[in-house]
């Protein structure tokens, strides 16, 4: 969608204000430039968590000392509370000092627990991440009321609605904004029209890094930054992000700013203070932001270490659709601590450098260990329920004679062999890295018929299930499943809490800072030309002239490479990642659904729900009747207890695209 150039009033968004406005000091009211001193803290990336945490301890130790020496210093802790927990694990005696700094508005708290990727985790996981971050923040003070999204590789269409559900009315973001967006302040609408005020970090979260301490040089640098920002914000005030990846606390910047001879007055400030004084929105945008027009979106992360993403999604579903609903409908005590432990592992793995598969091998080994611990806890919780008779239905509608979210003594319909579908495998060399697909010049993908897969159908299901088992013995290539269909009208794809339409486009259609690859993210399903493909989790797809390509494996040996044809600048340090070659055996379960009518008429989201959430052996504990949803477009996100009360969250995967949370 193209943005409009003229601002329009937004009745849903008020200018945010909080105690942080006052804590930024009265001088913020007069400032032309709001300088946000911060660090962007990748908890694990090109070094393991243990190394980064040692550095984090030094950083926050230094921060607390500097706050005492420089009373006007404000510091932004990257919008994520995991940093505070990681620090206090080793420095529990500094809790009071952090709480005091938070109470004085000198450090920010939350709202996230970790900065998640938005395409590769479930919508419910995004909500739980915000809930955990805000709950942890409230133990120290008030959470920051800004949706800080500084480094995510694009933004999902329903994020404004998700933020609003958390009481957040504004967002600050960088990647994904198209070049056609000329205003750095715009109204960002979710699919249902819910909106937040968005501030685009046009120069990135590090645009004002390494500010000089010499007053004359500092003044000149501030004026230079203002001129760079005028393109999207002609009249100010301007937001200057003074920090970068793992940068330390600057000493003396407060005094230097007071003495700087800049034409435009600059003060240390907070994001909330800036949002309260920002210029009016100059444009409007609805839906996802996934353009490489002005910043890399690094689409190769959608498929790097794909099997790890599928395991993560399976754990999300086990928590969201099996464990929590069954315990909610039972008379058993709510296992708060055990479920909280499982969710914390999911949320730690949701961090963008973790779930995206774009870190060193040791990081992903530790992510695998977190999954193993949470999976073991989830198994123990299910075993605690005992083994009953019949099957449990995890859906809010009847399936195979089993009531919604209930149990029945029936035998699940067996899967029967089905005729093989006419599918292909495509293999192409990939000399890129974990961030970017980059075939050698002149490389031509090789196609061959899919052989060795098993195909099956179950009574009552209109789709064909297929299982593909692969033994990957080759490095440096991408392997995709090709499902023939027509694609000229584009595709609809499932996303967190909804679906989006994307047109067919050829590679390189949109100019940008990296080559425009026409691969896109989907969740559970994608549909084009009367053919839907189901995958039990997030996945990468591309519309080809003759079909839908689903990436199964992308095998590379580098975290980032310094020189690629498809990306002119590095995305990180050039470090070998041999485990990202994905050598060995892999198993993939998918389904293909050929249908008449459009995706709504064919109830594609509901059938994808059936595919991804099988009936399972029933627990022994008796269950109260579960809620029922007769609208085939309404899907369940969660059924849980909150403060002892049953809470149901659903969303409509069609107009009006509404997420609804209600008490039962």
Cite the active site residues: 151
Residue found under tokens 């909280």: 340
Task: Measure Cα distances from 514 to 508, 543, 559, 569 in Å.
Answer: 9, 19, 17, 8
Tokens of 343: 């969710």
Please calculate the CA angle 419-481-467 and round it to the nearest 5 degrees. 50
Phi (first) and psi of residue 635, to 5 degrees: -120, 155
Q: How far is Cα 577 from Cα 361, in angstroms, rounded to an integer?
A: 6
Task: Report the distance separating Cα 39 and Cα 144, nearest Å.
Answer: 16
Q: Which two tokens stand for residue 602?
A: 């064919």
> CA-to-CA distance for 279 and 26, rounded, in angstroms?
18
Tell the burial category of 134 from Cβ atoms under 10 Å away from its Cβ (0-12, 13-18, 19+).
Answer: buried
What tokens appear for 332 in the block?
């058993």
**What are the two backbone dihedrals, phi and then psi, of residue 37, each rounded to the nearest 5 degrees?**
-80, 130
Q: Do 549 and 482 touch, CB atoms closer than 8 A?
A: yes
Tokens for 661, please give them: 């949370």
- CA pair distance 48, 558, nearest whole angstrom: 16
Measured CA to CA in angstroms, residue 303 lies from 5, 311, 481 at distances of 35, 13, 13
Residue 540 sits at the vertex; the CA angle it makes with 534 and 542, to the nearest 5 degrees, is 95
The terminus-to-terminus CA distance of the chain in angstroms comes to 38
SS (H, E, C) 101-166: HHHCCCECCCCECCCECCCCCCHHHHHHHHHHHHHHHHCCCCCCCCEEECCCCCECCCHHHHHHHC
Count of Cβ atoms closer than 10 Å to residue 232 Cβ? 22
φ/ψ (deg, to 5) at 378? -65, -40
Q: Residue 11 carries which DSSP code? A: T
Q: Which two tokens stand for residue 317?
A: 């579903």
Q: Torsion-angle region of residue 650: left (phi > 0), alpha (psi -120 to 50) or beta?
A: beta
Tokens of 557: 């040996």
Query: For the CA atoms of 598, 600, 601, 606, what is the dihedral angle to 10 degrees?
Result: 130
The residues with which 76 forms a beta bridge, in sequence order, are 38
Sheet bearing 634-642, strands edge to edge: 634-642, 645-652, 659-663
Nearest residue to 431 (alpha-carbon basis) of 565, 544, 584, 585: 565
Q: Report the C-alpha gap between 71 and 66 in whole angstroms.
A: 8
| Whether 659 contacts 497, CB under 8 Å | yes
For residue 468, what are the β-bridge partners?
Answer: 588
Backbone phi, psi, residue 198, to 5°: -110, 140
Residue 377 tokens, joined: 């806890």
Q: Cα dihedral sign for 342, 343, 344, 348?
A: positive
DSSP SS3 for 292: coil
């Amino acid at each position: 969608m193209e943005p409009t150039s003229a601002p329009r009033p937004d009745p849903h968004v008020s200018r945010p204000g909080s105690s942080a406005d006052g804590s930024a000091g009265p001088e913020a009211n007069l400032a032309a430039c709001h300088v946000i001193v911060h660090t962007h803290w990748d908890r694990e990336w090109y070094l393991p968590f243990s190394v980064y945490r040692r550095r984090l301890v030094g950083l926050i130790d230094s921060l607390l000392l500097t706050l005492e020496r420089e009373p006007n210093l404000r510091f932004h802790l990257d919008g994520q509370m995991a940093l505070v927990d990681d620090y206090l694990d080793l420095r529990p005696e500094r809790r009071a000092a952090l709480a005091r700094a938070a109470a004085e508005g000198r450090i920010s708290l939350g709202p996230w627990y970790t900065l998640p990727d938005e395409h590769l985790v479930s919508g419910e996981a995004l909500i739980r991440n915000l809930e955990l971050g805000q709950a942890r923040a409230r133990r120290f003070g008030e959470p920051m009321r800004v949706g800080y999204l500084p480094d995510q590789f694009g933004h999902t269409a329903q994020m404004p609605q998700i933020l609003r559900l958390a009481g957040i009315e504004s967002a600050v973001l960088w990647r994904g904004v198209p070049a056609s967006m000329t205003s750095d302040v715009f109204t960002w609408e979710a699919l249902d029209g819910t909106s937040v005020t968005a501030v685009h970090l046009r120069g990135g979260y590090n645009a004002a890094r390494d500010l000089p301490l010499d007053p004359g040089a500092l003044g000149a640098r501030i004026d230079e930054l203002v001129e760079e920002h005028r393109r999207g914000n002609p009249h100010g005030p301007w937001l200057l992000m003074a920090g970068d990846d793992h940068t330390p606390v600057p000493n003396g910047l407060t005094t230097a700013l007071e003495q700087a001879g800049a034409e435009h007055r600059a003060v240390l400030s907070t994001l909330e203070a800036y949002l309260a004084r920002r210029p009016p929105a100059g444009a409007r945008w609805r839906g996802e932001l996934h353009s490489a027009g002005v910043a890399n979106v690094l689409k190769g992360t959608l498929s790097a270490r794909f099997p790890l993403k599928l395991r993560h999604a399976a754990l999300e579903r086990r928590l969201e659709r099996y464990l929590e609903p069954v315990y909610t409908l039972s008379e058993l005590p709510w296992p708060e601590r055990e479920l909280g432990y499982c969710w914390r592992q999911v949320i730690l793995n949701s961090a963008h450098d973790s779930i995206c598969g774009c870190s060193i091998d040791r990081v992903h080994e530790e992510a695998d260990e977190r999954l193993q611990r949470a999976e073991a806890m989830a198994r123990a919780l299910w075993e605690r329920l005992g083994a009953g008779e019949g099957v449990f239905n995890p859906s809010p509608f009847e399936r195979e004679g089993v009531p919604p979210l209930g149990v029945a003594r029936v035998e699940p319909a067996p899967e029967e062999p089905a005729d093989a579908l006419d599918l292909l495998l495509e293999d192409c060399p990939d000399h890129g890295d974990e961030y970017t697909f980059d075939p050698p010049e002149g490389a031509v993908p090789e196609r061959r018929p899919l052989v060795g897969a098993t195909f099956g159908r179950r009574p009552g299901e209109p789709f064909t299930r297929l299982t593909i088992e692969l033994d990957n013995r080759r490095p440096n290539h991408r392997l995709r499943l090709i499902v023939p269909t027509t694609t000229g009208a584009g595709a609809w794809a499932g996303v967190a809490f909804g679906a989006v339409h994307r047109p067919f486009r050829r590679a390189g259609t949109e100019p940008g800072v990296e080559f425009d690859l026409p691969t896109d993210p989907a969740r559970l399903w994608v549909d084009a030309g009367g053919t839907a493909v189901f995958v039990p989790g997030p996945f990468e797809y591309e519309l080809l002239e003759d079909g839908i390509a689903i990436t199964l494996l992308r095998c590379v040996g580098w975290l980032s490479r310094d020189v690629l044809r498809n990306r002119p600048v590095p995305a990180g340090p050039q470090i070998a990642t041999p485990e990202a070659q994905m050598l060995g055996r892999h198993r993939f379960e998918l389904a293909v659904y050929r249908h008449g009518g459009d995706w709504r008429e064919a109830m594609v989201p509901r059938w994808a729900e059936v595919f991804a959430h099988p009936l399972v052996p029933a627990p022994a504990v008796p269950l109260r009747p579960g809620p029922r949803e007769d609208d085939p477009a309404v899907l369940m996100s969660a059924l849980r207890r909150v403060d002892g009360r049953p809470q149901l969250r659903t969303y409509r995967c069609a107009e009006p695209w509404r997420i609804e949370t209600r008490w039962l």
